[in-house]
Amino acid sequence: MINKTVTVKNPTGLHARPAAAFVKEASRHKCSVLIKKDGRSFNGKSIISVLSACITCGTKIELETDGEGESQALDDIVAAVESGLGE
């Protein structure tokens, strides 16, 4: 299990399209992906879970990956978030 904290830069946060892009990237990997925010954990491979996290622009979230390919998954997901998830 590894983790990294990242700041969401999207003007709309992780809503609709950016959330879908996040889930798509997370789902490419075999390991589990969690988003941790305000003491709660959210499944990074579930659009409903990601949307329910209510992540806004400027929010710091902790990304945690665990399992096969966890290091590559974390690098890919962090890069996606830092690039704005297509927004």
Residue of 2, 4, 23, 13 lying closest to 59 (CA atoms): 13
Is residue 15 annotated as part of the catalytic site, yes or no? yes
> From start to end of the chain, where are the E strands?
2-7, 32-37, 40-43, 60-66
Residue of 82, 78, 79 lying closest to 35 (CA atoms): 78
**Do the Cβ atoms of 21 and 55 come closer than 8 Å?**
no
**Among 4, 9, 15, 37, the one annotated catalytic:** 15
The set of catalytic residues is 15
